[in-house]
Homo-oligomer: A and B are copies of this chain.
Amino acid sequence: MSTPPIFDERFTGELAELFAWRRDVRHFHTRAVETAMMDDLLASACRAPSVGLSQPWRLARVRQEERREAVRAIYRRCNADAQSLQPAERAGLYARLKLSGLEEAPEQIAVFIDPDPATGGGLGRATMPETLAYSAVLAIHTLWLGASARGLGLGWVSILDPVAMAGALDVPAHWRFVAYLCIGYPREPSDVPELERAGWERRAPLADVLLER
């Protein structure tokens, strides 16, 4: 145990900048991410908070080209289905959006959970088992922020069939798919979401989502 740090205004200001520039990135350079940097980021993600200290996250680092192509095939199929669900007036804009960096991102990480981990002794999740997946999301966000602070970009791909993903990556049968992450150096850093720049959606003010009780 050591003395708690005091974070000064310079740090909190830079943290606010990090939050502002931490974008979902879909345009990557193909150059490799340094090995030590990836190792640090993955280790840091696994120190994220988790329900009952259950640490339920399971990671698959996807490097083999045939595995990556299997993921892209799942994405192409799911994205075609998703596009067909869009109303006519949005379909054209949807088709023009680039929604993943699967083709070029040098690092690709599939995130799963063990839905019944031995660690944690079940604490905190009896009424809300979904907190296991939420814990994996906290690890993903830790990785995302750490990557952004090092000039990397991360894109979260969710237009995927979770069951097909587990099969394509040949992970233990009881694991449950949470997310697929593309990581690399971003082509166009921005502090405005790509979907906002493309005219898909705008950001809402706090007052729209806050109740007093």
Contacts and interface: CB of A to CB of B under 8 A. Distances in A.
Between A62, A141, A160, A162, the greatest number of chain B beta carbons within 10 A of the residue's beta carbon is seen for: A141
A11 B12 contact: no
Given A52-B201, A123-B195, A203-B47, A15 B145 contact: yes
A134 B138 CA distance: 9
Interface string A124-155: 11111011011001100110111001110000
A127 B159 contact: yes
Nearest to A164: B127
A94 to B, nearest CB: 7
Contact of A211 (B59, B134, B201): B59
A121 B86 contact: yes
A94 B126 CA distance: 14
Interface string A70-97: 0000000010011001100010001001
Given A16-B146, A24-B49, A43-B206, 6 more contacts: A6-B151, A7-B14, A46-B209, A53-B196, A53-B203, A170-B213
6 shortest interchain CB distances as A-B pairs: A4-B189, A53-B201, A137-B137, A53-B195, A82-B126, A60-B211
29 contacts: A1-B191, A4-B151, A4-B190, A5-B14, A15-B15, A16-B146, A19-B44, A20-B47, A23-B49, A53-B196, A53-B201, A53-B202, A55-B204, A57-B209, A58-B209, A59-B211, A61-B213, A63-B212, A82-B126, A82-B127, A123-B201, A124-B158, A125-B158, A128-B158, A130-B133, A134-B137, A137-B138, A145-B145, A171-B211
Interface of A: 1-2, 4-7, 11-12, 14-24, 39, 42-44, 46-49, 51-55, 57-64, 67, 78, 81-82, 85-86, 90, 94, 97, 99, 110, 119-128, 130-131, 133-134, 137-138, 141-142, 144-146, 149-151, 156, 158-162, 169-171, 178-179, 189-193, 195-196, 200-206, 209-213
